[in-house]
Structure 1
Amino acid sequence: MTEPHILILGAGFAGFTLARDLRRDAAAHRLRMTVVEPEPYLTYKPLLPEVAGGETQARDSVVPLRRPLKNADIVAGALQSVDTGARVAVVRTLDGTERAIAYDHVVFALGAVTKTLPIPGLAETAIGFSSVEEAAYLRDHVLERIRFAAATGDAAERKRALTFVFVGGGYTGVEAIAELQRVAAAELDRYRELDGERMSWLLIEVAGRIAAELPEQLSAWTLRLLRKRGIHVLLHTEVKSCEHGDVVLSNGQTHPTDTLVWVAGVTPNPVLDRADVPRGPKGHVQCNASLQAVRDDGTPLDGVWALGDDAQVPDLLAEKQPAYYPPNAQNAIRQARVLAGNLRRSIAGERLTEYRHRALGTLASYSGMRGAAVVRGIPLRGVAAWAVDKVYHAIALPSLSRRFRLVLGWVGNGLTPRDAAPVGTVQEPRERFREAATAQEKN
């Protein structure tokens, strides 16, 4: 009997967890598994703010795929199309060639991308905060802007260099600005040339409160904490334009800056447009509670599944209907475990189970041994919330070696000053070689 072939598109939290849960089935030849992912690693995104702040090394926030998924065929490439009728996906591999992959079951786990708006100058000026590369770059960039401010004699350029604007007051935006502001403030104190100079940190949020995922009292506490640290939080405010780095706000203010970080939400991966799957109003794959893709009339597409940020999964436990699970890591991981069981049941011809999950809580870390959390309905803030956050991620990071290095790094940070040395050449590693070669050619 031919082993059923499961094609998993994406290796974020959802795809990685699913593939890892199915690895024993693949090893026992009960199924064959292929994972398509352009990156060679899983990014553990909750650690990105710490990467930006220098509290965690970039490599400790990623988990290489091939060792934990050794029983899967991993295709390094980008999805080009999926024909669910023919059960064939086309992938463009790293060498530029296109490869057709036939499957029995396909799982959409492509993840989300940064949600942008048609704001003049946004694409040319801003940077996102969804990858380890962006987090590491931002850390170096902020430190380099401080170095530049110390070197320039132009007061306007100095002010621009020391102005940092973040747009989006959700978890990601709040954690990122909290981490970066603290490391930058410590670095600024080391520059005698900048005595008396002040940085300007702005967090722009269109809604009436930040960290809206938390209960209102914890959200208000978070707002007070940021403002106490000197971060200007502007609520009910939008960005109207940001051409040439001049951020124009709906309140009439203009803030010239070299640093504009866009963390105003996510949207389903646009690669889904290349697949003939039913979509919900926000672009997610329309699913039933068993994580099958379904048509508008509710009938499932045979062999088509979705989960995580790509999926619109009904929340059957919600009091108010219709309701859908939010796209977060907690749901992605738990949906993956349910889907692993449902794939086994589908192959065996058994009845599928439904995904039903009540949120265990929410966690946010704001650096400086401060955080906010809700754990099984109990609100926490300050050191207690920060400690719970640390313990959770030390356990949840899906790599024993990474966990070990992560905890060692935290201990080291507690015993020594945080490293604030920018490594600018990482962004352009051949720049110095080119300069040397050019100079020698002239001679």
Structure 2
Amino acid sequence: MTSSVNSTATSAPAVPKILVVGGGYAGFYTAWKLEKTLRKGEAEITVVDPLPYMTYQPFLPEVAAGSIEARHSVVALRRHLKRSTVITAKVTGIDHAHKLATITPPVGEPWQQEYDQIVVTAGAVSRTFPIPGIADNAIGLKSIEEAVAIRDRLMSNFDKAALLPPGPERDRLLTVVVVGGGFAGIEVFAELRSLASALLGAYPQLTFDDTHFHLIEAMGRIMPEVSLATSEKVLAELAQRGAFVHLDTQVKGAVDGNVELSTGDVIPTDLIIWTAGVMANPQVVRGSDLPVEERGRIVTRPDLRVGTDEEIVEGAWAAGDVSAVPDLTGGGVGGFCVPNAQHAVRQGKLLAKNITAVLRGEAPRDYVHKNLGAVAGLGLGRGAFQKGKIGFTGPLAWLAHRGYHGLAMPTWERKLRVIGGWCNNLLLGRDLVNLQTVQNPRYVFEEFAARPRPAQPPVTPPAEPRGAGKEADKPEAVDAAKAAASR
């Protein structure tokens, strides 16, 4: 008796696809930690960001002041995300109903990417208002390119001002206006004041009184992250350094670099830095079908899944500045975590653990993080520190600032580069090289490059009279004809 056995081939289950939108703090840490928590082959990770690196934004003021090398304050995604696919492009659409994301590369045609789990960590961009002249003349402080441009602009202005006699044009070149009195604004304001003081030693034509620094803040105080007493100490220190802080003042216009204030004052300047707030990345938020709250952030649960207490959007996660994550400690603004690096980094780490848990059929944990305090750098040897009711300024606060951020910088490779740079500056002094021309690297080549001459229009020779050629061979005959014609 023969028997037949029917075997049905079973295909292996598909590997879950995790798409991380944004490679900033939260996105980088999510992918970085997922690579460590997931077993090999347990999921496929793809990170999409228009930039191939993560920027450590707390270092941007020091980059603008030349205290940190620009490349050392960013983390290359491809170097440190060994098991992830990194795509340098923009996510311009999220159709979560069908789990498709539209990816738009810098060259070529957009395409749709399938996913099983999506992590939206697209961060924030500078929030501006329709003030005349701001969009045309101001520069933000959200990217490494902006920090470098600020530094080179200030140093180039010193070069130009040193060749001018005292007067309005020289004053304009040596005037810096910062809009916004939060941490970013105060830090870049103080760091640039420190840089300008260092530059004066190399320009004997200029004096301290020739430089003018103005910070504009619409509120009645600066640095809401620290106590009022600490913020007042910072104000007093800035005043001693010849910097002016305009409180309860708004910018009404900045046409042609003339900053008009609500007080009626006008400040001519060649360098306007805008740090007055941020907003969730609108390109990603508006292009998705995920729920959004009134401030334009993605509605996020305490466990970092998209949704509310009543309803969960399965397969969707969010963290960082683009998300509205409830602050369970009760210390957040409006009940939500404030948009800063401290929350974004920790949310990214927890996000990786929660995604891993869900993939393995386990329950995710809620995000709970109490503010560790605040540190700010205010120029070489100057800083501000706040921990609970303890707050102070000075060299000790500056050391706390550098110690905290030096350790918080991701990857030991980057920590060593940053700390090594600080040590070099301590021994060799601040690097005062100006590289503004790197923004137009072909200017010398273009100036002296040989170019083909423009094509000349064709020249038609005049019609030659019959026999003229023969007569031209007889000069005496031509002369006789000319003499007869002149009679």
TM-score by length of 2: 0.87
Shift in alpha-carbon separation, 1:321–1:416, aligned structure 2, 3 A: closer
Shift in alpha-carbon separation, 1:394–1:321, aligned structure 2, 3 A: closer
Q: 1:91: Cα distance to partner?
A: 0.5
Q: 1:407: Cα distance to partner?
A: 1.3
Match of 1:345 among 328, 338, 357: 357
Indicate the residue corresponding to 2:478 in structure 1: none
Indicate the residue corresponding to 1:234 in structure 2: 246
Q: 1:25: Cα distance to partner?
A: 4.6
Q: 1:381: Cα distance to partner?
A: 2.3
Indicate the residue corresponding to 1:291 in structure 2: 304
Q: 1:400: Cα distance to partner?
A: 1.6
Give the letter for the 2:26 counterpart. A
Residue 69 (1) aligns with residue 70 (2): no
Please give the per-residue CA displacement for 1:205-232, whole angstroms capped at 9, x wherever unaligned: 0001111111111111111111111110
After superposition, the CA RMSD in angstroms is: 1.9
Q: 1:96: Cα distance to partner?
A: 3.1
Separation in structure 2 between the aligned mates of residue 118 and residue 319 of structure 1, nearest angstrom: 32
Gaps of 5+ in 2: 1-12, 455-487
Q: 1:38: Cα distance to partner?
A: 0.8
Please give the per-residue CA displacement for 1:71-110, whole angstroms capped at 9, x wherever unaligned: 0011110111000100000101132321211000111100
Superposed, 1:176-195 pairs within 5 Å as 176-195=188-207
Residue 227 of structure 2 contacts residue 389 of structure 2 at CA under 8 Å; is this kept in 1?
no
Residue 361 of structure 1 contacts residue 377 of structure 1 at CA under 8 Å; is this kept in 2?
no
Indicate the residue corresponding to 2:290 in structure 1: 277
Q: 1:377: Cα distance to partner?
A: 5.4
Separation in structure 2 between the aligned mates of residue 303 and residue 205 of structure 1, nearest angstrom: 41
Q: 1:188: Cα distance to partner?
A: 2.4
Indicate the residue corresponding to 2:446 in structure 1: 434
Shift in alpha-carbon separation, 1:97–1:49, aligned structure 2, 3 A: same
Please give the per-residue CA displacement for 1:19-57, whole angstroms capped at 9, x wherever unaligned: 000013556111111000111111111111111111110
Residue 27 of structure 1 contacts residue 71 of structure 1 at CA under 8 Å; is this kept in 2?
no
Shift in alpha-carbon separation, 1:93–1:220, aligned structure 2, 3 A: same
Match of 1:120 among 111, 132, 135: 132
Aligned sequence identity (%): 39
Shift in alpha-carbon separation, 1:43–1:392, aligned structure 2, 3 A: same
Shift in alpha-carbon separation, 1:253–1:111, aligned structure 2, 3 A: same
Match of 2:318 among 290, 306, 331: 306
Residue 2 (1) aligns with residue 2 (2): no
Give the letter for the 2:57 counterpart. K
Separation in structure 2 between the aligned mates of residue 53 and residue 349 of structure 1, nearest angstrom: 49
Give the letter for the 1:360 counterpart. L
Indicate the residue corresponding to 2:58 in structure 1: 46
Separation in structure 1 between the aligned mates of residue 90 and residue 331 of structure 2, nearest angstrom: 39
Gaps of 5+ in 1: none
Superposed, 1:329-344 pairs within 5 Å as 329-344=341-356
Indicate the residue corresponding to 1:137 in structure 2: 149
Indicate the residue corresponding to 1:361 in structure 2: 373
Residue 365 of structure 1 contacts residue 386 of structure 1 at CA under 8 Å; is this kept in 2?
yes
Separation in structure 1 between the aligned mates of residue 384 and residue 312 of structure 2, nearest angstrom: 40
Residue 171 of structure 1 contacts residue 211 of structure 1 at CA under 8 Å; is this kept in 2?
yes
Give the letter for the 1:292 counterpart. R
Separation in structure 1 between the aligned mates of residue 222 and residue 334 of structure 2, nearest angstrom: 26
Separation in structure 1 between the aligned mates of residue 419 and residue 452 of structure 2, nearest angstrom: 47
Match of 1:421 among 415, 433, 439: 433
